Structure 1
Amino acid sequence: MSESSDSETVTALPVAGGRQTWQTVWALSRGRRLVFLSVTVLGVASAAVGLVTPAVIGGLVDRIHTGAATSSTVGIALVALILAAFLGALGTAATVVLAARAYHAMLADLRESLVEQAMSVPQNVIERAGTGDLISRTSDDVSQIADAAPQIIPTFTTVVFTIIVTFAGLTALDPWYGLIVVAVLPVYVFTLRWYLAIGPRVYRSERAAMSRRAQQITESQRGYDTVVGLGLTRQRHDTVVNTSWEVVEHSLRARTVQNMFFGRLNLAEYLGLAVLLVIGFILIGDGSSTIGATTTAMLLFLRLFGPINQLLIVVDTLQSVLASLSRMIGVLTIPQSGSPHTCRPSEPRPADGLARPAHEDTALCERTVRLEGVMFSYDGREPALSDIDLDIETGEHIAVIGASGAGKSTLAAVIAGIHSPDSGRLVCPRGTALVTQEMHVFAGTLRENLTLANPEAGDEKLRAALVSAGAEGLVDLLPEGLDTEVGAGGRILTPAQSQQLALARIMVLDPELVILDEAAAEAGSAQAGLLDQAAAETLRGRTGMVIAHRLSQASVCDRIIVMEGGRIVETGTPDQLREAGGVYARLWSAWVEAQAFTPGAGPHISRNSHRPR
């Protein structure tokens, strides 16, 4: 089960509990456990070599005290110290390298799983939580774990072994020396318990504040035109500043807790040294120990200061890492689909490489699209789709029209698998592709943009797809042809070229069902005819669904669906709907009138377009 942080809202993405986090870490370690066993063996051996230095110095002190020391004794001691330092450093380096490779391999696997899951999480879940939360988890939290590696890996691969072996060495000298660690242990235990009771909550709050800041920054960037157009610059600036100050406040609280933690550690050190000096004085006084043995014990105890402090300081870092790790694993706990619908795989198509929608996990073959009583709501209260019953036969092309907010894009997203119906049944081909008006050109070459989901496609197929999309001249315009860098950091394509690229990408994928959600809406009237032809070519030989904003697109389809308020209110062929005298007929009459005044023009379907004039 997952649990949410106290500081996060009920709509935030889930945070994994401690048990689930460790189960995931254990699963990630599969195939690397032999490496971790080698790390343990090397770590213990390296720590044992570290006992040589205090023992040699203690023995040398006793020899000097008794007058038995010679130049050869000092030389042998020096050689032993150098050899011990070399072997210890070599063993520690090998331990850290092995542990680091396994650690980063596990982190890479987790990061890949996180990205894969994030791409398949229902969009409405992300929208309710805010994209900033997901961005923070895939960026800030990943960076937090990766940046902590240089501190965590050496500590847990060497320090733990050093503490264990040093305690054993102290006890071997005299059990009373071993009790020194026991004497200071309660201070460390109480310090750690105090910190663990406060630290995790503080760090979770800090991470959540970072998510809120990321959300506000992301919204301001994405809605830049709206912010400027409505004069909201100052308001957005103040909002970002306020969320940034929230991060500062939580960070200051975290650093305060950290400083209080370090103060308690210093107290344990002073107490341990005092106890050791008293015990050494008593043992030497009654002849139970020697000055050299006490010197060795003192050096061993001083040798513990660094490791123990490092370990507990890393516990501080580890709390932040675990907070980030739990947030990352929390994304993996989000179910991809939980609704009673089906996306049935069809017969295999050669090298389609298409990314499958989230609702494909079924077994029966079917090429048609079938919706039965489908309901969907973004917020769980107001329905965006109500009682949708719709069949689209194989090879049929339908157009969906309606006013803004009628539910057209929501219907497309549900069929494409972006949203999961709240109820009802959905059956669709496994190979389904959605093209929206928000075309994205990825940073990379033109070839990489075309082969995103079909890496095996050759240049001949890529050029044929561009020709079908009406972009045959695009390759010639680019200085390096298909190898030209486009998108961010490369050649910026025009809106029309971006839409042609998106349509060509679909042809390279070769899906069975293509959904065009106003895919030519942003290109402008100059390219509208060209893009309509490209869209028609994209639909050729495939089942197609067109969310139309121009009646020229709808009128060439086999069937037209008219939506209002999330419901289907009319359906039929273009001729049938024109004769019916309903919403479509009024839109058609308005379009014909517009063409009479402006040849080639046609009204866009707006919120009031269906009202009688």
Structure 2
Amino acid sequence: MLPIATSARTRRALAGLVRPHRALLAGTVVTLVAASVAVLVVPALLGRIVDAVISRGVAGLIDTLALGILVALVARALLAALGSVLVAHLGELVLAALRENVVQRALDVPLADVERAGSGDLLQRVGGDIAVISEGVRRALPTVVISLLDVALTLVGLTVLDWRLALAGLAPLPIWILVGRWYLRTSGRLYAAERVAEGVRTQSLLAGVGGAATVRAFRRRAAQLARIERHSTSAVRASVRASTAESRFGLVMNGAELVGVLSILVTGFLLVRADAVTVGAATAAALYFLRLFDPIGIMLYLLDEAQSAGAALARLVGVTDMPTPPGPQAPRIPRDASVHLRGIRHAYDAGPEVLHGVDLTIAPGERVAVVGASGAGKTTLGGILAGVHTPTAGTVEIGGVPLAEIAQLRRHVALVTQEVHVFAGTVADNLRLARPDATDAELAAALRTVAAPLALADVVGDGADELSATRAQQLALARLVLADPAVAVLDEATAEAGSAGARTLEHAAAAALAGRTAVVIAHRLTQAADADRVVVLDKGHIVESGPHEELVAAGGSYAALWAAWAAPRS
């Protein structure tokens, strides 16, 4: 699970996001305070009207007071509308900055950390959690802010009217404080648990959908469905627990409101009977207290949404606070495209070691195919060479420079895997991910190099043309051509094409790798036969290394692999 920020850290992060918009914040606060003050005038004027009617005041005075109420209500409506727009605008600016920070840091998170936490957790944060906060900013935030100011200023107005009536209005305060503290303490934990449970459910659904073919092949459909159902049930139960707490909170708050109304009415009656206040003042006090119901009810209704948004915000701040992998203190440029791996050992977390002291030297421009049984450590070796994984022990050098000291590592080494993502947009948009400043002519040349029958203006990705596995991999290889790294690692980049597109991709890969030092994690041994050298991995050890013909003639592990591969095709 990726980290989750503490409440204190979340508040500091939010303050940091708001700080650049101090002027807008000040204008928003002034507008909202003015809106609350405008509506605060209404109960006082109604009290004056009651007193005027009782004392048989002149009709003109009553008309003037009624006009004042109308003006106050119109001012309230206009100022509240403007304040809502300003709050929403401020919230959207803050949300945009947060979204950019999260996406930027998510792209910088080491792949090992993402794999350890599960891609579903990260996806839930940059997708689901952002959506929760966005909904809160658009719907809940303006209303909650206005309601909060209404409550605060109404209590001030009640105090100005008569301090004894104000004290009576505070009768439910202990109940509000106790139940509020309980709810804030409880609901924050419950909504955080709900977001975590939803992340686990998302991860489970992704695993089930992404591995559907494997699930069917091993007849694990029932077990996988049971797993998804278990995680979905946990998410539903987490939501029910949060909703139950909110319902209990609302019930107690309604009881507190009843206590407050009775206290105001009884106190007002006693004060009027003692000629301490007028009937109009007692009426205004009751109206002040009654108008607390709407903003308190609104805050109650939206508090669960605010708590859910707060839990989502803590998860997003947790992503932005993840440490960025340190860059080289004294960046160096490799002298050539040679590769040296010395004493490479690697284990994932506390698991068993998967590479055991691997030593490998690759000359500039040499193409090396790495073959071996499943689980031999081929993908791990490729990931370490590409800088995706940091080895437990040993060093990796390109051109005599350790990977950790290379300036702009991705300009010198690139990794292409069998899992290719096609971004929604045009083919040109997808290609410019590798080189944003590339011209259309350079993009077209890259497509020709890998023989991809695609037009730059073609719209691909979600909601558009679905590229076949072969075309998607050609697109990835064209990106490799544009990136133009000195060293390239292909991790079973032709595995998803099937037999029909395999030779097409092998030719495309050969063209993309021309002139580069290349390590090809070979799924098909025809790639090994075309390589300058073949390295055979077995249980984390290099057991053979040499040209294809020599290894076949030697009759060792590679010869057995080749015989098994070639037999059905002869």
Q: Secondary structure at the match of 2:345?
A: strand
Check whether the contact 2:364–2:516 (CA below 8 A) recurs between aligned residues.
Answer: yes
Match 1:167 to one of 131, 143, 155: 155
Q: What letter matches 1:417 in structure 2?
A: G
Using the TM superposition, give the Cα deviation of residue 437 of structure 1 relative to its aligned residue in structure 2, in angstroms: 2.0
Q: CA RMSD in A?
A: 2.6
Query: In the alignment, residue 109 of structure 2 is paired with which amino acid?
Result: V
Q: Give the Cα separation in 2 of the matches to 1:175 and 1:425.
A: 77
Range with greater deviation from structure 2 (38-47 or 515-524)? 515-524
- Cα distance, 1:556 vs structure 2: 4.2
Find out whether 1:438 has 2:419 as its counterpart.
yes
Q: 2:479 aligns with which of 470, 493, 505?
A: 505
Q: Which shows bigger deviation, 254-263 or 222-231?
A: 222-231
Match of 1:142 in 2: 130
1:204 counterpart (163, 178, 192) = 192
**1:104 matched residue in structure 2:** 92
Equivalenced residues, count = 557
Question: 1:547 is matched by which residue type in structure 2?
Answer: I
What is the CA-CA distance between 1:17 and the residue it aligns to? 1.2
CA distance in 2, matches of 1:370, 1:275: 83
1:238 is matched with: 226
Is residue 54–residue 299 contact of structure 1 (8 Å, CA) maintained in 2? yes
Match of 1:286 among 246, 250, 274: 274
Distance (Å, rounded) in 1 between the aligned partners of 2:71 and 2:2? 54
CA contact (8 A) 1:60 1:69 kept: no
For 1:414, the equivalent position in structure 2 comes to 384
| Aligned-partner SS, 2:253 | helix
Structure 2 residue 289 is the aligned partner of structure 1 residue 301: yes
Paired position in structure 1 for 2:354: 384
Change beyond 3 A, Cα 1:121–1:422: farther
1:458 is displaced (CA, Å) by 2.2
Q: Are the aligned partners of 1:337 and 1:420 in contact in 2 as well (CA < 8 Å)?
A: no
After superposition, what is the alpha-carbon deviation per residue over 1:478-522, rounded to whole angstroms, capped at 9, x for unaligned? xxx322223443333333222222211211222232111121233
Instruction: Work out the CA distance in 2 between the residues paired with 1:257 and 1:83.
Output: 41
Deviations 1:108-134 (A, max 9, x none): 222232233233323333333222222
CA drift of 1:574 comes to 5.3
Shift of 1:278: 2.1
The corresponding residue for 1:466 is 447
Amino acid across the alignment from 1:408 = K
- What is the Cα deviation at residue 544 of structure 1? 1.9
Tell me the distance in 1 between the aligned counterparts of 2:538 and 2:325.
27
The separation in 2 between residues aligned to 1:440 and 1:144, in whole angstroms, is 26
Q: 2:207 aligns with which of 201, 207, 219?
A: 219
**SS state of the match for residue 495, structure 2?**
coil
- Name the counterpart of 1:73: 61
Q: Do 2:369 and 2:531's aligned partners in 1 also have CA atoms closer than 8 Å? A: yes
- Equivalent residue number for residue 36 of structure 2: 47
Q: Deviations over 1:2-52 (max 9, x none)?
A: xxxxxxxxxx22221112212221222231122112211112111111122
Q: Distance in 1 between the 2:95 and 2:274 partners? A: 56
Deviation, 1:587, is 4.9
Q: What's the counterpart of residue 565 of structure 1? A: 539
Question: Residue 94 of structure 1: CA displacement?
Answer: 1.6
Structure 1 residues 423, 285: closer, same or farther in 2, change over 3 A? farther
Deviation at 1:455, TM superposition (A): 3.0
Per the normalisation by structure 1, the TM-score is 0.84
Matched, 1:490 2:464: yes
Higher mean displacement: 168-177 or 106-115? 106-115
Letter in structure 2 aligned against 1:187:
I
Letter of the 1:485 counterpart: V
Pairing 1:157–2:145 present: yes
Q: Which residue of 2 aligns with 1:348?
A: none
Q: Call closer, same or farther: CA 1:527–1:147 in 2, change over 3 Å.
A: closer
Paired position in structure 2 for 1:457: 438
Q: Secondary structure at the match of 2:395?
A: strand
Partner of 1:353: none
State the one-letter code of the partner of 2:472. Answer: S
How far apart, CA to CA, are the structure 2 residues paired with 1:69 and 1:513?
94
User: C-alpha deviations, 1:530-574, integer Å up to 9, x for none?
Assistant: 432321221223332211234442344444433222233344555
- Report how far residue 221 of structure 1 moved: 0.5
Amino acid at match of 2:22: R
Please report how far the alpha carbon of residue 393 of structure 1 lies from its aligned counterpart in structure 2 after TM superposition.
Answer: 4.6
Are 2:494 and 2:502, in contact at CA under 8 Å, matched by a contact in 1?
A: yes
Q: Which amino acid aligns with 2:42?
A: T
1:67 is aligned with what amino acid? R
- SS state at 1:569 partner: strand
Q: Secondary structure at the match of 1:523?
A: helix
The 8 Å contact of residues 192 and 312 in structure 1, kept in 2 or not, is answered as no
Provide the residue aligned with 1:349 in structure 2.
Answer: none
Please give the alpha-carbon distance, in whole angstroms, between the structure 1 residues aligned to 2:382 and 2:297: 58
The residue type equivalent to 1:542 in the other structure is: R
How far 1:267 moved relative to its partner?
1.5
Structure 1 residues 361 and 143: alpha-carbon distance in aligned structure 2, compared to 1, 3 A threshold: farther
Superposed displacement of residue 362, structure 1: 5.7
Query: Residues of 2 paired with 1:251 and 1:531: CA distance?
Result: 48
Supply the distance in 2 between the matched residues of 1:169 and 1:446 (Cα, whole angstroms): 63
In the TM superposition, residue 585 of structure 1 has moved relative to its aligned partner by 5.5
Deviations 1:213-242 (A, max 9, x none): 222211111111122233333332333233
**Aligned to 2:527, which of 526, 530, 553?**
553
Question: Counterpart in 1 of 2:251?
Answer: 263
Cα deviation, residue 186, structure 1? 0.9
Q: 1:61 aligns with which of 28, 47, 50?
A: 50
Unaligned runs of 5+ in 2: 397-401
| Equivalent in the alignment of 1:14 | 3
Which residue is 2:399 aligned to? none
CA distance in 2: counterparts of 1:63 and 1:500, whole angstroms: 86
**Which residue does the alignment assign to 1:365?**
333
Deviation of 1:374 (Å): 3.3
Distance change (3 Å), C-alpha of 1:433 and 1:360: farther
Most deviating of 295-304 and 248-257: 248-257
Residues 56, 81 of structure 1: 8 Å contact kept: yes
Kept in 2, the 8 Å contact 1:122–1:420? The answer is: no
The letter for the 2-side match of 1:523 is A
The whole-number CA distance in structure 1 between the counterparts of 2:433 and 2:17 is 28
Give me the whole-angstrom Cα distance separating, in 1, the residues matched to 2:356 and 2:11. Answer: 42
Flag structure 1 segments of 5+ consecutive residues without an equivalent: 1-11, 339-358, 476-480, 602-613
Q: 1:362 to 1:374 in 2, by over 3 A?
A: farther
Offset at residue 172 of structure 1 (A): 1.2
* TM-superposed deviation, 1:382: 0.9
Residue 374 of structure 2 corresponds to 404
